[in-house]
Amino acid sequence: MTSREYNVLFLCTGNSARSVMAECAINRWGKGKFMGYSAGSHPKGSIHPLTLELLNELHYETKHLRSKSWDEFATPNSPRFDFVFTVCDQAAAEQCPVWPGQPITAHWGVADPAAFEGTEEEKRRFFARIYRELENRIKIFTNLRIDALDSFALQQRVKEIGRTTPPDTWEG
């Protein structure tokens, strides 16, 4: 088994909710094996307040989080990514920068909690549901035996993970 740490970039349009949640979750559940990053094609410039509220409730460190452009990670001095996952349909349809090293890519689309309409409590529940959906996929991903899979099998597996749906028993 390798002790190598894999870099994972989560992309969304605004980089204010979903991709930030995924970055935090992979840094928790994949600690020592994965290093997570997030960015957006058209970053909002700030993290959504309900994203920060939820992450703080889940005991994540949020002071370092910021909304940033994917251009920040397309420079020669940027980390080399092993995996790049889009978490929103709009970002998946956009022309992404060329990532050096041909990372394994997949679309792990989830609904946009920032666009959800409802009461404040309904919005909080929806943010929590989206977090759990991403966390479920990330837990599956971080438990893959990456070193035991060839690149084709790994590519197929990460695509399958993107199609997993949360259990029906989840509230939200």
Out of 9, 12, 21, 130, the active site residue is 12
Of the residues 88, 130, 158, 161, only one is catalytic, namely: 88
In the structure encoding, which two tokens stand for residue 120, read together?
């404040």
Element containing residue 28 per DSSP (H, E): helix 18-29
| Dihedral (Cα; 64, 65, 68, 72), 10-degree rounding | 40
Which one from 58, 96, 111, 149 is the annotated catalytic residue?
96
- Taking a C-beta distance cutoff of 8 angstroms, is the pair 138, 92 a contact? no
In the block, residue with structure tokens 């050096």: 100
Is 24 part of the annotated catalytic residue set?
no
Task: Say whether 12 is catalytic.
Answer: yes
Identify whether 88 is a catalytic site residue. Answer: yes
d(Cα 67, Cα 11) in Å, to the nearest integer? 11
Residues labelled catalytic: 12, 88, 96
